[in-house]
Structure 1
Amino acid sequence: MNYKKTKLVTISTVMLGLFTLSCSSDILEETPRATYEPGFFRTETGVIGGITSMYGHLRNIYGQAYFYNTTETGTDEVTYGQSADQNFLVMDVSGQGNITPQDSRADVLWTAAYSNINTANGVIENAAEVGISPMLTAEANFFRAFDYFLLVQTFGGVPLDLGAGELMFNTNPTRTSVRNTVPEVYTRVIFPDLLTAIENLPTQPRVTGGATQTLARLYLAKAYLTYAWWLDNPNNIPTYPETNRIDPDGNDARFYFQQAYDLSIEGIENPGPFALQESFFAINNAANDRNSEILFYADHTETSEFYNGGSLTYSSGGAPDNFAGWMMTWNYTNLRSSTAPVGGDIIGSVQREDSQFLGRPWTRMAPTIGAITETFANKDQDSRYDGTFTTAYRGNWPKAQVDQTVLYNANNLPVAPGDAILTFLDEQPGENIVYPDDQGNSNVGAGVLPGRADYVIGPEDISRIVYPGLWKLGPYRTNTGDDLGQPNAASTRPFNIAKFSEFYLIAAEAVVKGASPEGGYTARELVNVLRARAGVWTFDNKENEERNDDFSEQLTSETPSAIDINYILAERSREYYGEGYRWYDLIRTQKWEEIAGSYEIAGSQFGDHEAQTITRSIEPYLYLRPIPQIQMDRLDMSPAELTNYQNPGY
């Protein structure tokens, strides 16, 4: 693609090649253009191209691993992994460096969002004049609200004026900027844009993956919920720019919690083409991508580098590639087995493969022990642990042209292709696992139990270097064939952004915070819809076989009669672990320090299995990310004005 850069609010706007729509297809067709001029928005082709480009901008945020890191590292779900660089270390807020405007990597969001916001401004400003329907224009309203919602959660109040006037399309470089307050961002753009989107968007998506009324309803419910928490401010977390936590329309927090609830129930009862999948496995099974539960995603494809947005054979790690799934993939290729019980050749028994269970290792992020042992405590009945992690690493050496019928593994016992070479146990066994002092015969410090041919690691023994992988985000291609495929390429799967299931948890959270429920939709009843589904097993990832069990009754009976916010947050983690929700969930509810203030994990060397308790220093100012240095450097303002522009503490 070719690019033209224009400064907007002192931000470099990158148009992702101008796109046009094909009237004979239900997918977005992208047409690269050598140049792009603002006047192009005063044509029908330009406006439609601007709308289409908004879908492309999602790839610069979702699946971009450094932004993904900011949404997960430092929470109760994730800490830094053995190979973490400064981008990941500082986000853990555990003494490995300070988050600064230079390295918070929130610059990924700021740059991509403001580029798209200005495009949306141009579309909305010109659409009627060139004959674009309100239905099509509503997609731009949705995207503008979507980006501003991300920005206001991440940075606090942000600019609505890009240089040409509030919510106006800007065509000239501007070296000054003024930040609006949080209530102004919500009430002047997020709420009205989403209300417009709900009114005008279609029930059925215009194109595959297109914005719908249901999607806009979900985001307005999320925005109402988040704003209600902001007004409530239970732990007195500071906001910036400083302002009284008073709604301009005079409504209190409970009003907005009720709005979030009502909208969520409306979404559940009017789903359009969307529905819950029958099992948790089905939601994240790559062969079932773009299923009825997924409302929104940043799309990719294995069929075309152009439409994928990047190479199909290699990636060095950068947007618009989808490479977030590498981050929590440890280097399983270090696993070794032998060609004979004694004196055989030592070979790699688990080769790098573009299977959903494997993928490209980077070891930048790691799950905490608490996530494995506490969040997913019930692994026998609740399918969400099995549907989230890779816990069995299976031999695939024939795909690397290694001609061995069997290899010899733990206890010098034979293993065949497809057998488990290493298993992460669901529970800590009653008998002690025998671990080596260093790498051992497995080459990764894994242990042995009597009679087992697979090496094992207990859930309380995971480390920053060896841990269950994130199956959810693993790669998948239908054109891999019988070999190892393209494991060095970025994932060609869509990165999921929004799911229908969230209506249930938003509504339940709103009830916990004081919304009045309707009959049949209490907090417990809403949560139990998802817990019942979690009890349905259709496939067992660990055993790599079909499984038909139903523990719905058991799981729903164990749900507390009185639901509190901590229980809602635990359910959200079980549903959305590792998908980029967690930091936003913890800052919205102001539970970050309480829930993630400490965690356990073993060290960074093979053979480390002694859990360490790590304490985080989560100061109130960290609830906002710093304004990125790239933005600060482009501002031509006085030192005092620059100081006031930056979030306090940075």
Structure 2
Amino acid sequence: MKIFKFLQLSLTIMLLASCSKVELEEVPPHLITSETLYTNYAGFDAGINGVYALIRQTDEGLNGGSSLTSDLFRLGTDNLVSNHQVSPFNVVTTQWVNTNNPSNDFYANSFAWLYKIVNASNTIIARAENPDIAWGGGTGNGTQNKQYVLANAKAARAWAYRHLTFLWGDVPLNLDEAKGSNIVTNWVRTPKAEIQKVMISDWRYAAQFIPLEPIPGRISKGAVEHYLAETYLVRNQLDSALFYANQVTGTANYKLITARYGVKKDKPGVAFMDMFIDGNTNREEGNTEALWVFQFAKQTVGGGANSFPKRHHISRYNSIRVGGVNPLRFTVERGGRGLGRNSLTKFAIDIYGKEDDRGSEFAIRKFFVLRNAAENAPAEADILPAGYKYGDTIHLSWTRDIAPGNVGVVNWPYSRKVEYVDSENISGDLDFKDQIHLRLADTYLLKAEILFKMNRAAEAAEVINIIRSRSHANPIGAADLSIDFILDERSRELVLEEDRRYTLLRTNKWIERTQRYNKNGGQFIVPRDALFPIPQVVINANLTQKMTQNEGY
């Protein structure tokens, strides 16, 4: 039986162990503790890096597991369906019912991960109030450096509670540093409305001191204001939501990508997809649309384990059979090797107009061209089936939904947003491309949703047309608008990027649309599944007071 210490230490495993000066008269110089690290600005900056490393696990696996962390808030929705059922959460999203239960390790690991971020942030916030801290260094004066550290820690804490409240509803609210002297075994679940107030307070503080142009990998002022707009929208405080959305869209630093740029600008393609090409994702590389980009680097200290989006989404095209052979090699142009665990729903593929760049061959892989060795280099030539020649096309098929009786589909289209190849290992499924976590288009669509809820449909349509025009989609009018149209547009623009489950929950559409469009699991969803069960290990660790479970579990 696993022993989960995260609840006994403020529901988390501490990022940095705390050692009391009373318990240890001397601290060996080679050991890093909160006392030795958090003495100056450089130490706090290192601590902030540690928090962002935890946040970056969004695009990795937890505890060496096979589940992509972000599956929890993107898979099992109207636009992303389980195809190859390998990881524990893939199984949940295809069956729900008894598989969606409090004993699922993926829930326990995810719950612990988010509280690690909370606790690491709390430690930084608490330690920053020590009057003996040497705040010199960095780019500002001592006061500015302290404000910057606190802003990043508070932004991270609010980010973690955003996930916790969307996933589990009411959860324990902890704003104190976890120490061995303050172990709590009688946690109560704080109403999410109260937690949202803390999130707003944290993000409003952060918005004052986090720069428009952040250090790569860290959150920007625009991203903070985006989350403020979203949280106010969830609370139906529409004037405040619109204010912060306007702050982001009205900032000159942030601009939609409307023209070709970057490392492949002279090759066939569309402007919309350039930002997803390795070497183009960061603001420093020309991506003016990026609000927050996670950093990955191969064989680099602090570069991350490796990100999972490619391996989980790109189809197993090398297993396609034609004329008794597997013709297709793993190549750079095809995006490398994928495992195809999570696929676009048929709805998500069919939702685009013919003129829309976001549904074009440059955005969604729908066919392959057989290539010779020179064209596939450094990979080998494709294997020609009988009657085929190089230059012929092999089309993928999505005429039938992925559904019971039609799973493990290898010739299914996939989004090219996640294509990446390690040039030293083309057949490997590791991914070290920097990942866009949030971008300006999301804020525009959030703004349109706010305006629509304010009964300002004409203005909402104008905002949506800003997004559609970039991809040459036909303009729409106020009469075309509905909440379902807005959700469709978000899928066209943000599939694989947005936390789709949260968007659908926010609009009270998760059950309806997942049942309608996700044919491999959506049919089994019941109302209780809108919130996940509190992990049983958390309930068991609350030794001196019974913690309530979500209804229906």
Range into which the TM-score falls when normalised by the shorter chain? 0.7 to 0.9
Distance 1:383 1:363, change over 3 A: closer
Q: How does 1:170-569 map to 2 (within 5 A)?
A: 170-172=178-180, 173-187=183-197, 189-205=198-214, 207-228=215-236, 256-272=237-253, 274-278=255-259, 279-290=271-282, 291-302=287-298, 304-310=299-305, 321-336=306-321, 348-353=326-331, 355=332, 357-373=334-350, 375-376=351-352, 378-395=353-370, 398=373, 408-409=384-385, 412-416=387-391, 420=393, 422-424=394-396, 457=397, 459-460=399-400, 463-464=406-407, 465-466=409-410, 467-477=412-422, 479-480=423-424, 485-514=425-454, 522-535=459-472, 555-556=474-475, 558-569=476-487
Larger strand proportion, structure 1 or 2? 1
- Structure 1 gap ranges (5+): 17-32, 162-166, 229-255, 311-320, 339-345, 425-456, 536-551, 602-612
- Structure 2 gap ranges (5+): 18-28, 62-66, 136-144, 260-270
Which secondary structure state, in structure 1, belongs to the residue aligned with residue 189 of structure 2? coil
Q: Answer whether contact 1:60 1:108 (CA < 8 A) is retained.
A: no
RMSD of equivalent CA atoms: 3.0
Distance across 2 between alignment mates of 1:116 and 1:600: 32
Distance across 1 between alignment mates of 2:471 and 2:119: 41
Distance across 2 between alignment mates of 1:598 and 1:576: 20
Q: Answer whether contact 2:242 2:450 (CA < 8 A) is retained.
A: yes
Larger helix proportion, structure 1 or 2? 2
Distance across 2 between alignment mates of 1:624 and 1:41: 38
Which secondary structure state, in structure 2, belongs to the residue aligned with residue 106 of structure 1? helix
Distance across 1 between alignment mates of 2:177 and 2:45: 16
Which secondary structure state, in structure 2, belongs to the residue aligned with residue 487 of structure 1? coil
Which secondary structure state, in structure 1, belongs to the residue aligned with residue 81 of structure 2? strand
Distance across 2 between alignment mates of 1:331 and 1:489: 11
**1:225, distance to aligned residue in structure 2 (A):** 1.4
Which secondary structure state, in structure 2, belongs to the residue aligned with residue 598 of structure 1? helix
Indicate the structure whose relative CO is greater, using CA pairs within 8 Å and at least 6 residues apart.
2
TM-score normalised by L of structure 1 = 0.70
Task: Give 1:549's aligned residue.
Answer: none
Q: Answer whether contact 1:276 1:500 (CA < 8 A) is retained.
A: no
Which secondary structure state, in structure 2, belongs to the residue aligned with residue 262 of structure 1? helix
Distance 1:458 1:49, change over 3 A: closer
Q: Answer whether contact 1:387 1:472 (CA < 8 A) is retained.
A: no
Distance 1:180 1:145, change over 3 A: same
Distance 1:61 1:8, change over 3 A: farther
Task: Give 1:158's aligned residue.
Answer: 171
**1:276, distance to aligned residue in structure 2 (A):** 3.6
Amino acid at match of 2:190: N
Amino acid at match of 1:591: K
Distance across 2 between alignment mates of 1:309 and 1:413: 42
Which residue, 73, 79, 82 being the options, matches 1:77?
79
Q: Deviations over 1:239-287 (max 9, x none)?
A: xxxxxxxxxxxxxxxxx12211121112111143554443312232334
Q: Answer whether contact 1:127 1:133 (CA < 8 A) is retained.
A: yes
Q: Which 4+ stretches in 1 moved above 6 angstroms?
A: 400-404
Distance 1:223 1:277, change over 3 A: farther
**1:50, distance to aligned residue in structure 2 (A):** 1.4
Q: Does 1:52 align with 2:53?
A: no
Q: How does 1:566-585 map to 2 (within 5 A)?
A: 566-585=484-503
Amino acid at match of 2:310: G
Equivalenced residue count is: 495
Q: How does 1:18-97 map to 2 (within 5 A)?
A: 35-40=31-36, 42-44=38-40, 45-64=42-61, 65-93=67-95, 97=98
Q: Answer whether contact 1:209 1:295 (CA < 8 A) is retained.
A: no
Task: Give 2:118's aligned residue.
Answer: 117
Q: Answer whether contact 2:78 2:518 (CA < 8 A) is retained.
A: no
Task: Give 2:127's aligned residue.
Answer: 126
Task: Give 2:138's aligned residue.
Answer: none
Amino acid at match of 1:266: Q
State the identity %.
22
**1:357, distance to aligned residue in structure 2 (A):** 2.9
Distance across 1 between alignment mates of 2:314 and 2:530: 28
Q: Answer whether contact 1:139 1:197 (CA < 8 A) is retained.
A: yes
Q: Answer whether contact 1:597 1:615 (CA < 8 A) is retained.
A: yes
Distance across 2 between alignment mates of 1:118 and 1:402: 47
